[in-house]
Copies of this chain bind each other. A is one copy, B any other.
Amino acid sequence: MTILRLSHVELRVPDLELATAYYSEVIGMIETGRDSARVFFKCWDEHQHHSVVLTMEPTHGLNHFGFKVTEADDLDHYQERLEAAGVAVRRYAADEWAPGHGTSIRFALPSGHEMELVYGMQQVGNLLPQTNPPPRPMGLVGIAPPRVDHLFLTAEEVDTNTRFLVEHLDFRLTEQIVGDDGFQIASWLEVSHRSHDIAFITGPNQGFHHFAFWVDGWNDLRNAADACVYHGVNIEMNPTRHGVTRGQCLYFFDPVGNRNEMFTGGYWVDPGSEPITWTEAEMGRAMFYYDGVVNQQFLTVHS
């Protein structure tokens, strides 16, 4: 009965063609489907039908995000637990929300974010053969990260969201920033034994800070930054290290205003591990370990 990992994000984009060009050519994702108002993408090493869905809407931001469960009946299990806790759950049949999408349940976090658990998304294969594969395809374009990694959201009450994910969905808290008054300013949670799969920072409910792609190392962050400049993409934060997660990162925006991260590093974490706590005084270090401060834009620009 376990949730595996981040499955996908559905982003709002006011200019579908522009955003499609960006996720294809700058990020280097593979387009796998399209309908009147939506385009579906996957990263080269992902086997499932989509991990980023662009939906044409007047604003940018996040419509919903999905986590993948291990077994079909994990959906029943979590639906039961959520409904027992008074959470409204909507179920989608396979292909109901979109062609290629699996069976799923949807519900709202206390912060109002729409979350999904999904099983059985159509498998389309990565770009490598199943027999004697090379380590990666040749001819990838743009940054070409192998997969999506995690999600960072804003919430008025971080601790309420954190508790919700821990109690009802078996996420585990790995790190947190705690104010001098004991207030949980930010939290990082995992289901995959990696340093985080989702995180929250204090801000407006339903707020979207960024989602991240995985890259394989520090060198890939430099190459990604080179690719951003080449394509005229605005880099918000050049390659640096987080204090939280020890990970290394690069931040920039898609052309309609959604923040992207390229992330690598982190650590393995066993269930039952004691969470790491960052104090308010070290919040800058927690976020950006080298600068030691967080610029105002990073804390306030979200959607």
**A282 within 8 Å of B by Cβ?**
yes
A235 to B5, CA, bound (A): 35
B133 with A276: CB separation less than 8 A: yes
Interface residues of A in 240-271 (CB under 8 A from B): 240-241, 243, 246, 248, 265, 267-268, 270-271
Contact present for B267 and A45 (CB under 8 Å): yes
**Which residues of the other chain, B, contact A135 by a CB distance below 8 angstroms?**
226, 241, 243, 246, 289
Q: Which residue of B lies closest to A246 (CB)?
A: B135
A186 at the interface (CB under 8 A from B): no
Min Cβ gap A67→B in Å is: 12
Q: A130-B277, A134-B226 are in contact. List 10 more A-B contacts (CB 8 A).
A: A45-B267, A47-B273, A132-B286, A135-B246, A193-B193, A218-B218, A218-B219, A219-B219, A229-B292, A238-B290
A4 on the B face (CB < 8 A): yes
Which of B45, B132, B192, B193 has a CB less than 8 Å from the CB of A278? Answer: B132
* B-chain residues with CB within 8 Å of residue A136 when the two chains form the complex: 226, 246
Q: How many whole Å from A288's CB to the nearest CB in chain B? A: 8
User: Within 8 Å of chain B (Cβ to Cβ): is A64?
Assistant: no
A216 within 8 A of B: yes
Q: How far apart sit A292 and B233, CA to CA, in the bound complex (Å)?
A: 11
- The minimal Cβ–Cβ distance linking A284 to chain B, given in whole angstroms, is 11
Residues of B within 8 A of A290 (CB): 225, 228-229, 235, 238-239
Selected A-B contacts with CB under 8 Å, 26 pairs: A4-B270, A47-B270, A47-B273, A131-B277, A132-B277, A132-B278, A132-B282, A133-B243, A133-B276, A134-B229, A134-B230, A135-B241, A135-B289, A136-B226, A138-B227, A147-B268, A192-B193, A192-B268, A214-B268, A216-B265, A218-B218, A228-B290, A229-B289, A235-B292, A238-B238, A238-B290
Residues of A in contact with B (beta carbons under 8 Å apart): 2, 4-5, 45, 47, 68, 70, 130-136, 138, 146-147, 192-193, 214, 216-219, 222, 225-230, 234-235, 238-241, 243, 246, 248, 265, 267-268, 270-271, 273-279, 282, 285-286, 288-292
Pick the contact of A271 from B70, B225, B229, B279 — CB < 8 Å? B70
User: Of B131, B265, B291, which is within 8 A of A276 by CB?
Assistant: B131
| CB closest residue in chain B, given A214 | B268
CA distance A248 to B240 in the complex (A): 13
